[in-house]
A and B are shown apart, each in its own frame.
Chain A
Amino acid sequence: MPAISLKVNQRAVTAEVEPRTLLVEFLREHLSLTGVHVGCDTSQCGACTVFVDGVSVKSCTMLAMEADGAEVTTIEGLAQGGKLHPMQQAFHEHHGLQCGFCTPGMVISSADLLKRNPRPTEGQVREWLEGNICRCTGYHNIVKAVLACAEGSAK
């Protein structure tokens, strides 16, 4: 089996993986990073979204081998020193999550949006989240949280 070396949540990881292993499987099953969720089998729900080299990626659309040499950040690696990332904090304050299943993907995807576009409009937030499905919140408080985070009003 081929070996890959990468950084996951700032830790160096080396592992042997079967070539067909998806990044999401590698993260969940080899590294027990179960915050990365699987909500579909057609790459549409976005529950599996992680950062790969600073860009949000659906980890079910990528082979683990493609992440060789990359830096991966999952939802588990977003809070720093016990302090929530501002986007996590905003989701908490604005009730941007209910069952929590879509949440890891939503938070990471939203954080990526603000990297690219620090002051998005409501419409831009909604368009950006096209690839993330939430069945619980009606998106209302997710959008609210992202806009609040952009305004820096999240404490």
Chain B
Amino acid sequence: MTTESKSLIGAPIARKEDRRFLTGTGRYTDDLNRLHQTHAVFLRSPHAHAKIVSINTSAAAAAPGVVAVYTGADIAADKVGGIPCGWLVKNKDGSNMVEPPHPALVADVVRHVGDQVAVVIAETKAQAKAALNLIEVEYDVLPAAATVRDAVAEGAPLVWEQAPGNTCFDWHLGDLAAVEAAFAKAHKIVEIEVTNNRLIPNAMEPRAAIGEYDAAGDMLTLYTTSQNPHLIRLLLGAFVLGVPEHKLRVVAPDVGGGFGSKIFHYAEEAVVVWAARKIGRPVKWTAERSESFMSDAHGRDTVMTAKLAVDREGNFLGFRVHNTANMGAYLSTFATAVPTYLSGTLMAGVYKTPAVYVEVRAVFTHTVPVDAYRGAGRPEATYVIERIVDKAARELGMDRLEIRKKNFIRTFPYKTPVALEYDTGDYDATLAMALEKADVKNYPSRVEASKKRGKLRGIGYSTYLEACGIAPSALVGALGARAGLYEAANVRVHPTGSVSVFTGTHSHGQGHETTFAQLVAQQLGIPFDKVEVVHGDSDKIPFGMGTYGSRSLSVGGSAIVKAVDKIIAKGKKIAAHLLEAGEADIEFKDGKFVVAGTDKSKAFGEIAFAAYVPHNYPIDTVEPGLDESAFYDPKNFTYPAGTHVVEVEVDPDTGVVTVESVVAADDVGVIINPMIVDGQMHGGLAQGIGQALFEECVYDESGQLLTGSYMTYSMPRAADFPMFKVGNHVTACTHNPIGAKGVGEVGAIGVPPATINAVLDALAPLGVTDIQMPATPEKVWRAIVAAKGSKAQ
């Protein structure tokens, strides 16, 4: 960055976007209404697995207000393409994964509860809903496999005939021979089996989509609840509808949270756009929450077994993981990358384990597709590592922190045995900060106090690392990604010196309108209020890959910095002319172009004006205007890391776990707005603790969703948490111009194992050594009873 004053970088400025949200003037997709709009409602399968014998839509089509009824046959007749998967994963033998079709409306076999079978389009939503009940579908119900364990069982019902054993792929990474050699010389081999409970992302704004067709210009528009409108344009245009980019506009206006679930291209988006063109009127669909539960992509859902080889002193020698990952019935956009490239590559954690080997078997089940959810693969990796490290300490009789410190990576760059190269970090620093903030010194007195109240107290740690700032295109391309993962920006300086910044990332809570304005205002030395950040419209923004994988600042922000660099470089040319100096002598400092060593200068605004009113201008060599675009492709992932410490109290009579203290000390790289960074931490921590203690998506044996509403799916509430204590220790990322690493997912990645480690620490005196997430009162109580029982014997 160019200027020296640091006033806006690191300033906790209250957000620009707040006002509209606080006054009810935000514009979310469902708030938009288009002229002559119709309303779509989807008929969804009540069965997990069934053959569609027949569909009769004639009564529905004749119902009042109905404009059209479409089924899978109509989609097929129009040759509407299937919903594509964005990542091709190879099997161990080099062959491709099984990639089944994913039609926008299903014609023959439904494969999960909620699979979309037909759509009714009517003048009003009430009419569409009434007509929906008139569609007659005859199903031939088939047996289903809803869980990972059921799907891999001998003779399990197949989701796809082309996928024997329900295996989508069988992938591996690392050096198996090296790991086996390490195990052969181990003092001890520690083993664990862990489940990452299936979660439902539950952004508070349900998904919605409006398709629109302008016959005059043969233009299609999709308004949608998306984290990445350009990516949706690419998938919908190129793969599903066969419409070129210049004829398709995708707008993602204000979006009420995503957490990954709004990355993916969904069937409903394709159907409303396709149908809008067919009927020549806008088509709007908004999910009801119960629909979200059965149609939004879910998260996690893995079963892992792991073995850690250690020597007598507690040095890690080798680590081996087998992961069975649930893909659901179809492959969602990033699904296949989650357990592999986002999880398998993380298995070294912060430890210098010399040999690591990971295998992933991805399986189909009769459930909603599973894909990225806040953390995406990295929470799963962190969980198995941080659980087994605790277990190793216990089995070796070592201190849980000592064993961690003994194995910390301390020299950078560090090349892991699983394909990544960490550029920088300081794990001791974040650990020390966390212990201080958690007041670990006085922990024993708190244990005593709990004991007096008849409660068990436990403390748990997690020293995690994650890889984000997704992603170097060449690297991910070699790993099977079907898109580049750079980011684009356009910085438009207006004649009077104010600036519009167009970013391909998308803000749905992250506060980019503020953070990016700070970044640009600082770099240009202009007031923060003179910068406006625009996102979410493929017609306004040159290009973009969107927001996920904690990439917006490190990748999207870097693209903005590069575009501003170009603005400054051009400004120097103009200033040199106006100041009658050589271009090489012009310096840009604090918003002024200065002739080095003199007091001759031009303000940024003067240069902007000259660029648009080029009366006295180097017109032979410099074009008018001050408007630059840049693309930024990261050289490496970024590697946030830190220590999370959780303290819990367990009621031994009821199994209720109370979260007493949550501390997060993180290195997320250079921070632009600490208030926003802290807010991201809080949200991630709550979701991570939600996974550890409360949330679980449950299907029964027949594939019925048992947790299909807020009455059965346990969403964390305010009273479930204490105030969080968060802090940062910064080591700057070495390979992007900002030094930022990313913070969006950190909380959800680091805290689940710290929480479970705390629960197990509390229960250790009773002899409980294992518990699976979520540690609900029932599970904890049963574990206590079982442990007592085995003690009594």
Residue of B18, B255, B682 touching A138 (CB-CB under 8 A): B682
Contacts of A75 in B (CB 8 A): 22-24
* Interchain pairs with CB closer than 8 A, number: 176
Minimum Cβ distance to chain A for residue B629 (Å): 28
Count of interface residues, chain A, beta-carbon cutoff 8 Å: 54
Interface window among B265-273, B275-283, B325-333, B717-725: B717-725
A42 near B23 with CB under 8 A, answer: no
Is A137 positioned at the interface, with any CB of B under 8 Å from its CB? yes
A79 near B23 with CB under 8 A, answer: yes
| Majority-rule SS of A interface residues | loop
- List 7 additional contacts besides A36-B24, A102-B204; criterion CB under 8 Å: A35-B24, A95-B675, A99-B21, A126-B718, A133-B204, A137-B682, A141-B679
A99 near B205 with CB under 8 A, answer: yes
Minimum Cβ distance to chain B for residue A78 (Å): 8
Q: Which of A91, A95, A141 has most B Cβ within 10 Å? A: A95
B709 near A101 with CB under 8 A, answer: no
Residue of A45, A92, A140, A141 touching B204 (CB-CB under 8 A): A45
Interface residues of A in 71-121 (CB under 8 A from B): 74-76, 78-79, 84, 88, 91-93, 95, 97-104, 107
Contacts of A58 in B (CB 8 A): none
A99 near B204 with CB under 8 A, answer: yes
CA distance A103 to B724 in the complex (A): 20
Contacts of B290 in A (CB 8 A): 41-42
B205 near A39 with CB under 8 A, answer: yes
Contacts of A135 in B (CB 8 A): 202-204, 257, 259, 683, 687, 715
The 4 closest A-B pairs by CB, nearest first: A35-B24, A100-B21, A101-B256, A138-B686
- Closest residue of B by beta carbon distance from A124: B719
Minimum Cβ distance to chain B for residue A92 (Å): 5
Count of interface residues, chain B, beta-carbon cutoff 8 Å: 54
A136 near B509 with CB under 8 A, answer: yes
Interface residues of B in 12-33 (CB under 8 A from A): 14-15, 17-28, 30-31
- Closest residue of B by beta carbon distance from A125: B718
Contacts of B510 in A (CB 8 A): 98
CA distance A44 to B30 in the complex (A): 19
Contacts of B682 in A (CB 8 A): 137-141
Is A38 positioned at the interface, with any CB of B under 8 Å from its CB? yes
Is A151 positioned at the interface, with any CB of B under 8 Å from its CB? no
- Closest residue of B by beta carbon distance from A123: B719
- Closest residue of A by beta carbon distance from B20: A100
Contacts of B684 in A (CB 8 A): 138
Is A16 positioned at the interface, with any CB of B under 8 Å from its CB? no
A98 near B679 with CB under 8 A, answer: yes
Is B584 positioned at the interface, with any CB of A under 8 Å from its CB? no
CA distance A11 to B444 in the complex (A): 61
Once A39-B205, A140-B723 are accepted as A-B contacts, the answer to whether A88 and B23 lie under 8 Å apart by CB is: yes
Minimum Cβ distance to chain B for residue A106 (Å): 10
Q: Which of A76, A122, A134 has most B Cβ within 10 Å? A: A134
Contacts of B675 in A (CB 8 A): 95
Contacts of B77 in A (CB 8 A): none
Interface residues of B in 667-719 (CB under 8 A from A): 675-676, 678-679, 682-687, 709-711, 715, 717-719
Residue of A44, A95, A144 touching B15 (CB-CB under 8 A): A95
B724 near A140 with CB under 8 A, answer: yes
